[in-house]
Amino acid sequence: MLALETNVQFVKGIGPRIALLLKEKQILTVEDLLSHLPFRYEDRLSPQAIEDLKPGEMASIIGEVRGSALLRTRRMPIFEMTVGQGLGKIKCMWFHGAYLKDKFHAGQMVALYGKVEASRSSSSFKMIQPQVELLPDRHDDEESKLLEVGRIAPIYESLGSGKLASRWQRRVIWGMLEELKGRIPETLPEAMRTRLQLPSREEALRHTHCPEAGTPLDRLHAWATPAQQRLIFEELFYLELGLELKRRKLRQRQGIAFATGERVREAVRQILPFHPTAAQKRALGEIAADMRGDGPMRRLLQGDVGSGKTIVALQATVIAMENGYQAALMAPTEILATQHFLGARKLLERSQKKYRVTLLTGSLDEDRKRASRAAICRGEANLVIGTHALIEEKVEFAKLGLVVVDEQHRFGVLQRFRLMRKPNAAEPDVLVMTATPIPRTLALSLYGDLDLSVIDELPPGRAPIVTRQVSDARQSEVWGFVREQVKMGRQAYVVYPVIEGAKEDQPEMDFAQQPELDLELEQESHPKKSGAKAKKGSKSKPDRAAPLQPDEKPDAWLSGKPSLKAASSMYEELREGALKGLRLGLLHGRMDANDKEIAMRRFQRGEIDVLVATTVIEVGVDVANATVMVIEHAERFGLAQMHQLRGRVGRAAAKSYCILMTGSKPSPQAEERLAAMVRTQDGFELAEMDLSLRGPGEFFGTRQAGLPSFQVANLVRDRALLELAKQESAAFVERADQGLREEEKSMVWSRLREAWQRRYGLVEAG
Ligand code: ADP
Ligand code: MG
């Protein structure tokens, strides 16, 4: 008898050969296959009428094949088919469609799904590359008629070969559900289900796979039916339950209880060059309270670019140093580490105490590195600032009390954990800073093992940054404007997507450990990559070839256009041409550490007017006199990146400008990003948009960030359920012993273990 654990091979209609194919998709058991949910539904009970279609809409229609032909054009064979409904008809086209030639015959009924477009030649409509399914005809058996027409049909992502398309899945999954009727075990405690009014698991699976007639399609597509919500909740509940347990375990570990008496507070105040904002004060208060406590601090300090996180972190290091401990500050790039080093030294000089600050980055020369390591090991270095060399170069701290990690998303959770695990007498406190304005509920739930402080206020006197999008064709105006600003005593950045030549071997990407540029480029042509699983349901995933716009040539994107302007060659060109007479500097990731440091210092001291750079300046670089940020090939940058870059200007009261220059005609997605940049400066708003454009996987960089991939849940769409799951899991741990039957308790714990082993393996590594 079929059970959830049964190997799929024994399901009716599968067998060993297909089981092998399914295995490639990580589908091994009946339960796995039942968890493969539809990503879209088609209403085949009351399908749309052709005459009601509107150009630009996605539509699903049912009609009869009227005729078809394979056209051999010079570039490719195109399969054309006319589908009719009474008097209405619609023309469909598939590029490289030879494989469809013998599949369709006049008189057959088909279901189409695609974007409706107005036809140029006539008043009728057309669809380019729609998804198409053959509907059963009178020769087919009763069951397939029942499953295919006159109902809401679930559409599944193909499981590999054409044979395993939606129609096959509908039949197999329906068969399994029938056979398992009344025997799918529950996975949530009954009391919880009753209180939250969630359907049983069996009901939820049944109605998600086979919605009842009359279920509104828009609810289904919003994943908002009770059945779908129940499945989402369950997934999020087990995620949050695991995080809650981790949090509790952490609180029991032994950390350092720092003293924060008047003497320490005075030392912390001494380094302040300005009045902190209320938000900065609040954040420091929260950090100090953690540091006072017995347990190890794990806190995320979040604030938009320019909100002033650095000073707060430095104040925290003073607390540690005043208690006789060492502090470490880890930055994602050498440039940023160097800048923090210079800045920290200057600030700490304000104090009467003689703190010793040491720099350690990978490309320092061996002597300097050795000296740094020795000072750290002997405890002579009080504050150590560096890159991930800090964790890689076998650095031993004499007495490490606090670790600050800047721009966390660049490191990824795993590295963070590695850092924490460094064998040490007492477990140091950890403060993670990020400028990624993750919406609060998301941050709380994703970094569930971290407490959160938010700096939601900019220092006073900042003028908004004027942002403009201009085409390359108007570059002489742009350079004229840059000259004007320089004449007024200001400085400017000009940023390029690459250093020079081919896009391989760009250290920018090594630093970032997150090939953003590559991602961007690939995304233009492959919007749905693996890892974007959580997007399921929100966007359609075609069964067959993705609808390719006729004018899109993915290869051109991937090979990198030869016309792409690069930092080092443009540095020469501008110096000899449009910006002749100004003092130009060059900064990119392939320069050695000393040269980078020199370039940064000279720009900081105002000895350079225009810094030509790559995205190495993206994070944290802080030169208040810079008022212009020119981004060339802005169409190639992601939203988060552009926002970070823009954050390099507007750091003082002077009016600042961000000019987004586009080199080629931007894709619609790029246009959307650029328009958003012009429209708003609110990091949270941009982050939300980025999140919904790219999906959480790409947004956080799934693999790097250790972000779990979800089966049903979508962190953007399901935020409310995530919050609920968090509350419920906390309450559950709190009162697990009360009012729960023994078997329910053990069911929850074993389900939890299973979920974490299978899904959140990465997160568990901590
Ligand atoms: P981020 O949060 O992006 O790391 P920074 O810490 O680099 O921001 O701060 C941005 C700029 O604002 C720096 O030049 C810093 O000196 C300045 N700043 C920070 N806090 C204040 C404040 N309370 N008043 C005035 N200037 C401030
Ligand atoms: Mg910073």
DSSP 160-185: SSGGGSHHHHHHHHHHHHHHTTT---
Cα(651) to ligand 1 centroid in Å equals 7
Higher-confidence position of 481 and 524:
481
Q: How confident is the model over 570-585, as a mean pLDDT?
A: 93
User: Are the beta carbons of 11 and 30 closer than 8 angstroms?
Assistant: yes
CA–chain centroid gap for 667, Å, is: 20
Model pLDDT for residues 351-366, shown as the tens digit of each residue: 878 899 999 988 888 8
- Cα 549 to middle of ligand 2, angstroms: 41
User: pLDDT at position 292, please?
Assistant: 96
Kindly state the helix (H) or strand (E) to which residue 516 belongs, with its residue range.
helix 516-525
- What pLDDT does residue 480 have? 96
pLDDT level of residue 439 (50, 70, 90 thresholds) = low
Closest ligand 1 atom, CA of 311?
6
From the CA of 108, how far away is ligand 2's center (Å)?
A: 63
Instruction: Give the pLDDT band of residue 87 (cuts 50, 70, 90).
Output: confident
CB count within 10 Å of CB 712 equals: 22
Phi first, then psi: what are they for 618, rounded to 5°? -55, -45
For residue 335, what pLDDT is reported?
79
Q: Is the model's pLDDT at 186 over the cut of 90? A: yes
Read off the pLDDT band of 302 (50, 70, 90). confident
d(CA 726, CA 724): 5
The answer to whether the beta carbons of residues 312 and 336 sit under 8 Å apart is no
Place 549 in a pLDDT band, splitting at 50, 70 and 90.
Answer: very low
Please give the distance, rounded to the nearest whole angstrom, from the Cα atom of residue 312 to the centre of ligand 1: 9
Q: 666 pLDDT exceeds 50?
A: yes
pLDDT, tens digit, 9 for 90 and up, residues 303-338: 887 889 999 999 999 999 999 999 999 988 787 888
For ligand 1, say whether the CB of 622 is within 6 Å of any of its atoms.
yes
Query: Binning pLDDT at 50, 70 and 90, where does residue 760 land?
Result: low
Contact 710, 697 (CB under 8 A): no
Question: Of 8, 40, 4, nearest to 27 (Cα)?
Answer: 8
Which of the residue ranges 67-81, 225-239, 352-366, 508-522 has the most confident prediction, judged by mean pLDDT? 225-239
Rounded to an integer, what distance in angstroms lies between the CA atom of residue 312 and that of residue 268?
10
pLDDT confidence of residue 517: 28
- Best mutation site among 310, 339, 646 for ligand 1 pocket (most ligand atoms within 8 Å of CB): 310
User: Which ligand gives the minimal distance to the CA of 649?
Assistant: 1
Per-residue DSSP letter, 501: S
Question: Which ligand minimizes its atom distance to the CA of 283?
Answer: 1
Distance 274 CA to ligand 1 centre (A): 9
Render pLDDT for 373-413 as a digit per residue (tens, 0 to 9).
999 989 999 999 998 888 777 788 888 899 998 865 554 54
- For residue 512, CA distances in Å to 508, 509, 590 come to 6, 5, 13
Structure tokens at 188: 């949530």
Which helix (DSSP H) or strand (DSSP E) does residue 534 occupy? Answer: none
Which has the higher per-residue pLDDT, 556 or 618? Answer: 618
Ligand 1 contact via 306 beta carbon (within 6 Å): yes
**Higher pLDDT among residues 744 and 420, named by residue:** 744
Is any atom of ligand 1 closer than 6 Å to the C-beta of 305?
A: yes
pTM over 0.75: no
**527 band by pLDDT with thresholds 50, 70 and 90:** very low
Predicted pLDDT at 151: 82
Task: Give, for 453, the enclosing helix (H) or strand (E).
Answer: strand 451-455
Q: How many Å apart are CA 513 and CA 414, to the nearest integer?
A: 12
Q: Ligand 1, closest atom to CA 647? A: 3
DSSP state string for 720-733: HHHHHHHHHHHHHH
Residues 750-761, buried b or exposed e (16+ Cβ, 10 A)? ebbeebbeebbe
pLDDT of residue 51: 85
User: Which residue's CA lies nearest to atom 21 of ligand 1?
Assistant: 459
Q: How far apart are CA 464 and CA 239, in angstroms?
A: 40
Q: Report the nearest-CA residue for atom 23 of ligand 1.
A: 276
The CA 400 to ligand 1 mean position distance, Å, reads: 26
Residue-level pLDDT at 501 = 57
Residue 202 near ligand 1, beta carbon < 6 Å: no
pLDDT the model gives residue 443: 62
From the CA of 257, how far away is ligand 2's center (Å)? 27
What is the reported pLDDT for 437? 65
Residue 162: the pLDDT is 67
Number of H helices, E strands in the chain: 29, 21
Strand partners, 362: none
Identify the residue whose C-alpha is closest to ligand 1 atom 26. 459
Provide the pLDDT confidence category of residue 695 given band limits of 50, 70 and 90: low
Neighbouring CB atoms inside 10 A of 505's CB total 11
Ligand nearest to the CA of 281: 1
Amino acid identity, residue 97? G
Compute the chain's Rg from CA coordinates: 29
Q: DSSP letters along 614-665, please?
A: -GGGTTT---TTEEEEEETTGGGS-HHHHHHHHTTS--SSS-EEEEEEESSP
3-state secondary structure of 30: helix
Report the atom number in ligand 1 closest to the C-alpha of 277: 23
Quick one: what percent of the chain has pLDDT higher than 90?
38
Q: Average of pLDDT values for 260-266? A: 94
* Per-residue confidence band for 3, with pLDDT thresholds at 50, 70 and 90: very high
- For atom 5 of ligand 1, the residue with the nearest CA is 308
Structure confidence at residue 619 as a pLDDT band (50, 70, 90):
low
pLDDT band (50, 70, 90) for residue 421: very low
DSSP assignments along 557-580, one per residue: HHH--TT--BHHHHHHHHHHTTTT
Distance of CA 211 from the midpoint of ligand 1 (Å): 54
pLDDT value for 445: 57
**Residue 336, ligand 1, Cβ within 6 A:** no
Indicate which residue's Cα is closest to atom 15 of ligand 1: 308
In percent, the amount of the chain with pLDDT more than 70 equals: 82
Which atom of ligand 1 is nearest the CA belonging to 303? 2
The pLDDT assigned to 734 comes to 85
Pocket lining: 99 vs ligand 1, CB cutoff 6 Å: no
Residue whose tokens read 């010793």: 356
Which has more pLDDT, 470 or 160? 470
pLDDT on residue 253: 81
pLDDT at res. 140: 75
331-342 CB burial, b ≥16 within 10 A, e <16: bbbbbbbbbbbb
Locate the ligand 1 atom nearest the alpha carbon of residue 275 and give its number.
23
Look at residue 540 in the predicted model and tell me its pLDDT.
34
Indicate which residue's Cα is closest to atom 9 of ligand 1. Answer: 308
SS (H, E, C) 280-302: HHHHHHHHHHHHHCCCCCEEEEE
Give the pLDDT confidence score for residue 289 in this predicted structure: 96
**Which of 202, 201, 207, 210 has its CA nearest to residue 172?**
210
Q: Which two tokens stand for residue 350?
A: 């304000």
Q: What is the whole-number distance in angstroms between the Cα of residue 237 and the centre of ligand 1?
A: 38
| 175 phi and psi angles, rounded to 5 deg | -60, -45
Residue whose tokens read 């027409």: 149
Give the CA diameter of the chain: 92
Least confidently predicted of 82-91, 165-174, 560-569, 610-619? 560-569
pLDDT at 725 over 70: yes
Query: Which pair of tokens denotes residue 105?
Result: 């015959």
Structural domains of the chain, with CATH: 43-153 (2.40.50.140), 262-455 (3.40.50.300), 465-699 (3.40.50.300)
CA distance 364 to 372: 10
Neighbours of 549 (CB within 10 A): 12
**Alpha-carbon torsion 526, 529, 532, 535, what sign?**
positive
Average pLDDT, integer, range 105-123: 84
